[in-house]
Amino acid sequence: MKKFKLVSTILMVALLLVLSACGTSKTEGSGEKKTLKVVTDAAYAPFEYQDKGEVVGFDVDFINAVAKEAGYKINVKHVGWDPLFVEIKGKTADAGISAITINDKRKQTYDFSVPYFLSTNKIMVPKGSSIKSAADLKDKRVAVQNGTTGQEAVEKLLGTESKNLKKFKDNNLAIMELKGGGADAVVADNTVIEEYVKNNPNENFVIIEDAAAFEKEYYGLLFPKGSKLKADFDKAIKGIMENGEYAKIYKKWFKVDPELTDIKAQQ
């Protein structure tokens, strides 16, 4: 009988400890959301780049504002372009941001937030170049960042196996190829190359726009398939666009007010 009572007492204490532990976990979990790991390729000024070892840029300010609106803390980490997709697919990171264009091919593997930025590809060439449109890129050496929509756009013009298509790890290397005379043009997101030309006027580059050749593109946050974060961040993105925080960040980096009509229509 004593043995039975002792066993009963032990079981009761153990049960109380389990219930107590469950109660503590529930309280902590409901009171504070975890810190999210956000990966990026910090070689894409003005969206994300490294300044004295710190990752900064429009995307960084944007994701911090969205995370705050959604009630999360985040840690933004530079991993590179290709590793970014590997980490999200493998669920070793919670979200990715790096001026990532939303397209059907990527949607097969990843989830995207609602759009937060409108962009298009443009052409960067030296002043005096004979290139005046996308059609003029045929038979020219064109530098692009590998794995981007800029690469896809040029492949449609030159062919996927063209020797004139020069692919690089990032846009900085593509621009260096143009500067060194190894390429006749760079095709990349308009904001990136426009920012470069503006900040380096002595290098005598110009931007060519061809709206008929390059479609509008929309950037989104990248999530693993089935991520429960998407709903929170979709709501937060719309929230900062309504409360003026998005416009504040946009003007800080691009010196103009954003045109949100098209983006909101896509949302």
pLDDT tens by residue, 61-81: 999 999 999 999 999 999 999
Query: Where are the CATH 3.40.190.10 domain residues in the chain?
Result: 35-116+220-259, 120-216
Torsion of CA 78, 82, 83, 86, to 10 degrees: 140
**pTM, rounded to two decimals:** 0.77
pLDDT digits (tens, 9 = 90+) for 178-216: 999 999 999 999 999 999 999 999 999 999 999 999 999
Answer yes or no: are the C-beta atoms of 191 and 46 closer than 8 Å: yes
Domain at 120-216, CATH homologous superfamily: Periplasmic binding protein-like II (3.40.190.10)
Fold (CATH) for 35-116+220-259: D-Maltodextrin-Binding Protein; domain 2 (3.40.190)
pLDDT, averaged across the chain: 89
